[in-house]
Chains A and B, each alone.
Chain A
Amino acid sequence: MPGRSDQDPDQDRPAQTLDADRLGVLVVAVARDRDRKAFASLFRHFAPKILQYCLKLGADRSMAEELVQDVMLTVWLKADSFDPAQATVGTWVFTIARNRRIDRLRKEMRPAPDLEDPAMTPQSLATPEESAQLVQSSRHLQNAIDSLAANQSEVLRRSYFLEQTHEEIAEDTEVPLGTVKTRLRLALGHLKRSLGDKA
């Protein structure tokens, strides 16, 4: 990569943790200015996480590296579609990594609603009451997520994010299988209560 070391004095320093605001600034720099130094900073922040994510979900090292490259190339190409009002940079990169690994590791497509589809029910069609309800229910859910007991959040993370079976969770966390199932049930019950009286 000719000249990169001149442009990028940071490159040999250990990675530092970048906060959410800084990550947002870097994505904008990539989108607007095709800024390679900003891209390199994003790469150093996210590449190890994407690698870990893919390895934990069963990719071998070379497939995981391929996915890192794939996801980061998407970040480079789609930086202008990042919307800070919708998600943090971390969540946005997670969704790209999730979709790419479903495609490459599981060899499945991931169905998603099409935002351009005229048949989609837009939020703007909700009545004022329904809109108020939407805002409130999303706040209730956030409160419920934030107030999950640590051990309940951990079983959710392991079963949905790391896709571990109940047995694997029991073994890894050294708790009885019954406790794993109870914690999962309690976690889902806690989230469900945030729905209030809705089915």
Chain B
Amino acid sequence: MTLPLHHPDDQLLIGYASGQERAGKSLLVATHLAYCPDCRRRVASFEALCGSWFEELPCNDHDGLDALLDRMDGLLTAAHAPAEAKPPKPLAAGSLGGRPVPEPLRSWLPEAIDTPTDDGTWREIAKGVWLSGWERTLSGTTICLLRMASGAPVPAHRHTADELLLVLQGAFSDEYGSYAVGDVAQYVADTDHHASGASEEDCICLFLLDGVLIFLDEAGNPA
């Protein structure tokens, strides 16, 4: 079993642990955690750090809190454990060559993500590179799927804010390394990077972007 080799940076992991990170990037981090026992432990350490900061908060302001405790009495009597959390969304049979997308992302995605590229759910942005028609906006972050055929390069583009990729199927590579299922690639604003598909099957990634994405033509002008 090969565990992920490329992880979200500590800013994202601490932000996820503390609750400072917003929902969009948290969705990507949480899904990476489902693939990555190493980052699960790292997040647990950061949660413990936040727990120690929480414990250091002053506890001398009892103003009104005793009354609140009294008011809770009836609640405790009436309260029943909530019904079991809803079970995870069933795994679609045969999807993704036996490596289904884990929760929490699976519940967000369409039933099958590796649908034929000509079935109208994909928009080709360059030869062998597609963006999904499926798109969500969460706390200001745009989320969709990026698909790369083997060897197909993602066209040059410019982004004014962070761009994040999480591999869900296949593999891709760029000048920094190669990325397989569960790996995260993180590009800060205005960095040059050149991803292209690097697996026999199409590589499908969760694609997150803060702000606008502008594809450039061959002369480097906005297309």
A residues near B (Cβ < 8 Å) are 1, 4, 11, 15, 17, 36, 39-40, 43-45, 47-49, 51-53, 65, 68-69, 72-73, 76-78, 86-88, 90-95, 97-99, 101-102, 106, 108-114, 116-123, 125-127, 130, 133-134, 137-138, 141-142, 145, 156-157, 159-161, 163, 188, 191-192, 198-199
Contacts and interface: CB of A to CB of B under 8 A. Distances in A.
Interface stretch (B96-104, B115-123, B154-162, B214-222): B96-104
B5 interface: yes
Interface of B: 1, 3, 5-7, 9-11, 14-15, 17-20, 22-23, 26-27, 29-31, 33-38, 40-42, 44-45, 47-55, 57-62, 64-66, 68-73, 75-76, 79-82, 87-88, 91, 99-106, 139, 177, 182
B37 A123 contact: yes
Which secondary structure dominates chain A's binding surface?
Answer: helix
Contact of B26 (A40, A111, A133, A134): A111
Contacts of B45: 138, 141-142, 145
B41 A112 contact: no
A134 B41 contact: yes
A94 to B, nearest CB: 4
B164 to A, nearest CB: 14
Contact of B88 (A49, A97, A114, A157): A114
Contacts of B105: 111
13 contacts: A15-B62, A43-B69, A47-B65, A48-B65, A51-B65, A90-B51, A93-B51, A113-B30, A117-B88, A117-B103, A119-B99, A138-B42, A138-B45
Contacts of A192: 9-10
B47 A138 contact: no
Contacts of B50: 91, 94, 98, 160-161
B180 to A, nearest CB: 12
Contact of B69 (A40, A113, A117, A134): A40
B34 A47 contact: no
